[in-house]
Amino acid sequence: MTKFVFVTGGVVSSLGKGVAAASLAAILESRGLKVTLIKMDPYLNVDPGTMSPFQHGEVFVTDDGAETDLDLGHYERFISTRMRKANNFTSGQIYKSVLEKERHGDYLGKTVQVIPHVTNEIQVYIKKGAGLDTPDAVDVAIVEIGGTVGDIESQPFLEAVRQMSLRLGPDQTAFVHLTYVPWIPSAGELKTKPTQHTVQKLREIGIQPDALLCRADRYIPDEERDKISLFTNVVTSGVISVPDADTIYKVPRILHEQGLDDLICKKLHLNCQPANLQRWDALVYEVEHPKDEIKVAMVGKYVDLSDSYKSLNEALRHAGIHNHAKVNISYIDSETICADNVNQLGRYDAILVPGGFGIRGVEGKIATARYAREHRIPYLGICLGMQVATIEYARNMAGLQNANSTEFNPDTPEPVIALITEWRDREGNLQQRTAQSDMGGTMRLGAQSSDVQPGTLAHQIYGDVVTERHRHRYEANVNYLDQLRAAGLVISALTQQEHLTEIVELPQTVHPWFMGVQFHPEFKSTPWNGHPLFNSFIHAALEHKTQQDKN
């Protein structure tokens, strides 16, 4: 029988609810339980795919092609269960489903209302996310409710989980509330009042938390913990202090030391082995004891909000850990890069151009790819980063001076990157699109495999087959591949059916490490072994640095 832990948040957002939920899941997994995580988002977008990264940070993509909240990235990095479409849903999806049922006549003449129809639908989705009644059913599903308690839009979710706990019974469900305890410098005090109020709000709805995760910039002394306990009706042992951590991989240990997992297991009557966090300790040790240090330039568009490149940042760090090196990432706005100042990139050990949409800053990215190619600096282009590297190569090496993507110039005479109008999706169904097609959910999405050409750098990294996740609309135009090949570009992986370009690279005789990939490898990186592509890229950066030091 699957048990549920509901994780809510209070006072303010951005306290790390996703990391806290993932950390609890990781501890429970180390206790031998089968665990999954579910994220419910209160906004009306059907998924975050149509939202700007400036609004919502990165859009994480699952193997089965869902565009999801970035917390699912944390979930996959913290536990071994892989996320699926069903692990993230929004108010938009719930309402869409309820309205479709209403139009279909499924409510048999009833007035369709938030309670019970919307709240019931939420419960159906939660159960689906937990794989209930399927062979995938887990022992514990940790359900994170987006937003903060008190928001109008998250109310139906809170009501739904309250009803669910009533229906399932007290030993089947637990509530964990993440709150904020600010330090007021002028008073020299930690203030518990916001926490008292947010728990009051929760209790008004009928939810009594079993544990409070109190975020603060420091450990919370026992005296304040006692006070919080008294005002919130949570046992003192359930008032857990979660200070700022310099690495998120410390959080499982912090929670375990204060007994969060024991408290949850007791509440849910789970008899399981003790936690074993050895591998987390070893990971933190590696993070804190690098033997070397490198500088990576990330030349992109969404550089002001590092959440926009969450998985990428983590993947680079994981590869750093794997190579015993600290990776320092400098975010550079590609709009500020032009031919006259691109040589500022010469001081980096490696250059990365990440994924992106829209024309802004594209010429700066093209100049960046050219600089990395000509100066033999390790270059990794991801998705748009591959497309700009291809455009650059076409313009400067293949004599196609006007080469461009139809995303940036629909009338370009040399569309080396273009919109494909027909393709087969992961299930093999024929899909069609035009520039006017719906924006939501219509990209090439999710995991796809292709063969890798032997003798290439890609083959050294991946072996015969590469399977990675996609999220893009435009593709390298098949009609130009021969010209690019003749000019020296290596196309090292093509999809089996449509021959879509998956990887381009330069021969290692010409450049030590230059690669563009149409997919997003960062989504599959975990801290445990790093990701082979990023491991190789960071290794090349270290070699470049050694070489530079010698010269």
Residues with catalytic function: 383, 520, 522
Q: How far is the CB of 386 from ligand GLN (least distance, A)?
A: 8
Nearer of residues 180 and 309 to ligand GLN, judged by Cβ? 309
Which residues in this chain contact ligand GLN in the complex, by CB under 6 A? 355-357, 383-384, 407, 471-474
CA distance 391 to 409: 12
Phi-psi sector, 206: left (phi>0), alpha (psi -120 to 50), beta: left
Q: How far is the CB of 53 from ligand GLN (least distance, A)?
A: 10
Q: How far is the CB of 529 from ligand GLN (least distance, A)?
A: 25
Nearer of residues 474 and 514 to ligand GLN, judged by Cβ? 474
Q: How far is the CB of 419 from ligand GLN (least distance, A)?
A: 8
Cβ 39 vs Cβ 69: under 8 Å: yes
Nearer of residues 214 and 443 to ligand GLN, judged by Cβ? 443
Check whether 336 is labelled as a binding-site residue: no
Check whether 227 is labelled as a binding-site residue: yes
Q: How far is the CB of 464 from ligand GLN (least distance, A)?
A: 25
CA distance 471 to 520: 7
CA distance 191 to 187: 10
Nearer of residues 23 and 387 to ligand GLN, judged by Cβ? 387
Q: Could you write out the DSSP letters of every residue in 92-143?
A: HHHHHHHHHHHHHTTTTTPPP-IIIIIHHHHHHHHHHHTTTTSTT--SEEEE
SS3 for 1-43 is CCEEEEEEECCCCCCCHHHHHHHHHHHHHHCCCCEEEEEEECC
* Dihedral sign for Cα atoms in the order 462, 466, 471, 476: positive
Q: How far is the CB of 533 from ligand GLN (least distance, A)?
A: 16
Nearer of residues 355 and 521 to ligand GLN, judged by Cβ? 355
438 Cβ contact list (under 8 Å, min separation 6): none
Check whether 524 is labelled as a binding-site residue: no
Q: How far is the CB of 474 from ligand GLN (least distance, A)?
A: 3
SS3 assignment, position 465: strand
Nearer of residues 348 and 357 to ligand GLN, judged by Cβ? 357
Check whether 546 is labelled as a binding-site residue: no
Phi, psi of 280 (to 5 degrees): -70, -40
Check whether 386 is labelled as a binding-site residue: yes
Nearer of residues 11 and 494 to ligand GLN, judged by Cβ? 494
Check whether 196 is labelled as a binding-site residue: yes
User: CA dist 263 to 168, 176, 227, 235, 268, Å?
Assistant: 19, 11, 19, 10, 9
Check whether 19 is labelled as a binding-site residue: yes
The 10 Å Cβ neighbour count of residue 118 is 19
Q: Report residue 42 as tokens.
A: 């209160």
Q: How far is the CB of 530 from ligand GLN (least distance, A)?
A: 22
Check whether 297 is labelled as a binding-site residue: no
β-pairing, 35-41 vs 140-145, is parallel
The 10 Å Cβ neighbour count of residue 414 is 19
Nearer of residues 323 and 404 to ligand GLN, judged by Cβ? 404
39 Cβ contact list (under 8 Å, min separation 6): 18, 68, 69, 71, 72, 75, 87, 88, 89, 143, 144, 146
Check whether 494 is labelled as a binding-site residue: no
Cβ 419 vs Cβ 435: under 8 Å: yes
The 10 Å Cβ neighbour count of residue 401 is 10
Check whether 192 is labelled as a binding-site residue: yes
CA distance 212 to 218: 16
Task: Using alpha carbons, select from 523, 486, 492, 497 the residue that is nearest to residue 508.
Answer: 492
Binding residues for L-glutamine: 356, 384-387, 407, 473
Binding residues for Mg(2+): 71, 144
Binding residues: 13-19, 71, 144, 151-153, 191-196, 227, 245, 356, 384-387, 407, 473
Binding residues for CTP: 13, 151-153, 191-196, 227
